[in-house]
Structure formats: structure tokens, C-alpha cells
Amino acid sequence: MSRLATVDPATAEGQARTLLGRVERALGVTPNMMRAMASSPAVLDAYLQFSGALSKGHLPARVQEQIALVAAVENECGYCLAAHTVLGARAGVSEEDLADGRSARASDPKAEAALVFAKQVIASKGFVSDEELEAVRAAGYSDGEIGEIVAAVALNTFTNYFNSVGQTTLDFPEVTGAAVRH
């Protein structure tokens, strides 16, 4: 059971109702994480604006989803691991890459470089070495795309921590066999 209150979209009012309606139209469902965020429409709005802005960047959606998997494992968030396994599949990530992404691996070497870098950003709290930065550049990422990798880490760390604090009730199929807390 969630430790943070959730907002029922059917009875939501004001900005919470508007934002939850936008989520429902975009996803076809209103995940528990967003229902909990709606307790403060400012939090839900910030999340939606940040994720919306990143969706307009240069990193493919599938790579963003794979970064989300890395962050979920590194930050031990079972909710986000479950959610991004479903969302990653919708974005075209193969079953193999969904599983491998949890360990910062991918069938595409360029995508794998982004995942390894994302994991390094998390582990070092952003203090990556010159060699780590050069490796992601050598894989073909521009400085703008590197910024998007860092932004994806930040966004996913936010949701990981939000769900860990709230112990958000899982409403996606649980992912078993991964070293995360539920």
C-alpha cells in the first residue's frame, strides 16, 4: 500500500484533474505514480513537463527507456523497473534488450555506450572521469545528446526516489529476478 496519498482521477479537481486527464489520454491509463504526484499538481506538472521536453530531444525513446531501466536497478526502484519494462516494450525495445538493459547492456553498441554512461553518472553522482566522457563521445554521442543522457538520469532518479519514498502500489506486472526493492 502506498505511503503517499493518491488522487482519484474521477474525483480530482482543478489542475490535478486537468493533468490526470492528460495522462489518461496519453497512456490510456493513469498509473499510481502519477495519482500520487497529483497530490501536489506542481509535482505532477513538473514531471510531465520534464518528460515531455526530453521526448522532443535527440535520444530515441527506446534508449530513454533503457536508461530508465538502468536507473531503476541502480536506485533499487521496483515500481520504475516494472513500469519501464512495459513502456520500453511499447517503445520497441526487444525482450532481450529489456532484460540486458538492467545491467547497462544492449544489442546496439551505441545504445550500450549510453547505458554504461548513465550507470557511471549515477554511480559517481555526476563526477564522471574524462575517460568515461570520452568513451560516450567516441560511441557517437554529441554534447547535446550527452546532456540528454544526464537529464534522463535526473528525471528517472526523481521518479525512483518518489516511488521509493511513497512505496507506490505496483500497477504494472512485477519484474522478478532483478535486485530491486518493491
pLDDT tens per residue across span 65-96: 999 999 999 999 999 999 999 999 999 999 99
Query: If we measure between CA atoms, which residue out of 52, 47, 51 comes closest to residue 35?
Result: 47
CA angle (169 as vertex; 165, 175 as ends), nearest 5: 100
> Are residues 44 and 19 in contact, defined by beta-carbon separation less than 8 angstroms?
yes
Cell of 147: 546532456
Note the pLDDT of residue 178.
60
Query: If we measure between CA atoms, which residue out of 53, 11, 19 comes closest to residue 37?
Result: 19
Helix, strand or coil, per DSSP, at residue 94 = coil
Q: What's the chain's average pLDDT?
A: 95
- Segments making up each domain of the chain, as ranges: 14-55, 61-166
Beta-bridged to residue 77, according to DSSP, are 181
Instruction: Tell me how far apart the alpha carbons of residues 70 and 172 are, in angstroms, rounded to a whole number.
Output: 18
> Are residues 29 and 51 in contact, defined by beta-carbon separation less than 8 angstroms?
no
pLDDT at 5 over 70: yes
Averaged pLDDT for residues 145-162: 98
Look-up: residue for cell 535526473? 154
Class for the domain spanning 61-166: mainly alpha
Amino acid at 26: A
Note the pLDDT of residue 142.
98
pLDDT at 53 over 90: yes
